[in-house]
Structures are given as C-alpha cells and as structure tokens.
Amino acid sequence: MKIVIQRVKNAHVSVEHEKVGEISEGFVLLVGFVEGDTEKDYQKAADKIAGIRLFDDENGVMNRSIIDIKGAILSISQFTLAADAKKGNRPSYIQAMEPHQANQFYQAFNQHLRGHGIVVEEGVFQADMKVSLVNDGPVTIILNIENGKVI
C-alpha cells in the first residue's frame, strides 16, 4: 500500500465539472493498493495518518495531529502509485490491486479513518478526477505499508 500525504489549507475534487469532495485545513491523501495488501495494511495506514504530527503547535513545531486540529481528509484513490517505471518509458501497473478489491479496501480504509473521528471526503473510484489544492508548507510525506508495518 502506498499513500502520499499532503498537508493542505484547502482542497477539492471534481468529476465532470462537478465538485464531489471538499475540505478546508487537513490532508489530501493519494491512496494506492498493490497486490498482496491486507486489512492490516490499510488499518495500520489509517492509524498512522490519524496520529502523525504534521501540523504546527503554538511554537511553530510540527507537533499536532489532524485530530488535534480538527482537520479533514480528502481521500483520492490512485492506482498509478503502483507504477513500475524501471524498464522502458511506459510504466507497468501489473502490481496494482484488482479494481473490485481495491475499491473495497479503499472504502474500508476511509471508514477506518472516520472511526478516529476524522471527517473524510472522497473522490470517485476509477473516475477521471481533477484535484485542486493549496499545499501548506509544503509538507508531503510518502507512506509505504507492507505486512501491517510502515516500511
């Protein structure tokens, strides 16, 4: 499982010129599942994201979590995170999880985040989406989760 976390001031996602998700301060997550991912992986990822301290405290130190600031998450499924670009100029996506299972995991991942009391807005799985955001910092973290552990 691969996730790109971007700290944002605000963000929204549109499908066919219609806004389908919008947040103010929080995270934009780009979420990709690969073959072999398990429930433990998305649960670990959600727990890590809920607790990771990427927001400034009163001293300007990144010491507050998304829960601490009552922020929100815009979660975007992105199978291209499973790309393998080692050979040639055209990436291979053979490592990406099969779409039906990936969608089930994506929905369960978002529900696990909501279980932490976080407001989660979503894009539309497998849709052509336009994501707009205002990066804050910028602060961007890449999480790789395998066998229920951050690697």
* 79 is an active site residue: yes
Q: What is the Cβ-side half-sphere exposure of residue 78, based on CA atoms within 13 angstroms?
A: 18
Residue 63 has, within 13 A of its CA and on its CB side, a CA count of 5
Active-site residue (options: 80, 104, 111, 140): 80
Residues in the chain, total: 151
What is the β-pairing status of strands 149-150 and 55-56? unpaired
Catalytic choice (6, 27, 33, 78): 78
Catalytic residue among 27, 79, 105, 109: 79
Rg, Å, the chain Cα set:
15
Report the catalytic residues.
Answer: 78-80
